[in-house]
Amino acid sequence: MLTPEKTVELVQNGADVVKIGIGSSAVCRTRTQTGCGRPQLSAIMDCVGAAKRYNGMICSDGGVQKPADYVKAIAAHADFVMMGGYLAGYSQSGGELINKLVKTGFVDENNEDIIEERKFKLFYGMSSQFAQEHHYNGLPFYRASEGTVFEVPYKGDVKNAVQNLEGGLRSAMTYTGAKTLEEFPQKVTFYKVRRQLNRMFGYNEKE
């Protein structure tokens, strides 16, 4: 959902949790295919009040690239945050594990490409043709694919990624003076900025 009116309608009709957001996923093509969607944080902030007035909860659907995106969603009163792309490629993540031979970009003493076997996991949007063919009866002739498929490098255990999320949230609560998760959104002020990061040495561009 993207509007407060529809959020209220769903909660009043029995929904416990309303999923907020369209097209912000890394494997979603809804915005380029249909033109529908809006910035994720704005959607959360517009809809959360409508849900809370009727004791509903919201789930922020997609758009998490860094721990800061997760933190901002929580700060905007999201009860849950979907982050398929951020958590893709780990042992605990869904998706098929595949082995591939890939060029490393280096050559040996005979000037031949050095090739290594590497592991990947498939990550795909649920509106993609791939998902429709694997989980349903295929993509209906009257619909277009609104997602894609990526081979994400295998990253091992998800423990460090989760620790990154928790660490970012804990630090944000410290900076804002929040003692509990319930108190955290009340301590936050959002500002619209043109540039947030110092990119002088490119450090902030790296994972």
Cβ atoms of residues 11 and 51 within 8 Å: yes
Catalytic residue among 3, 7, 28, 34: 28
d(CA 205, CA 201): 9
Cβ atoms of residues 78 and 69 within 8 Å: no
Is residue 36 flagged as an active site residue?
Answer: no
Distances (CA, A) of 56 to 12, 17, 22, 62, 181: 9, 6, 19, 19, 17
Catalytic residue among 30, 59, 148, 176: 30
Is residue 28 flagged as an active site residue?
Answer: yes
Q: Which helix (H) or strand (E) holds 166?
A: helix 159-176
Active site residues: 28, 30
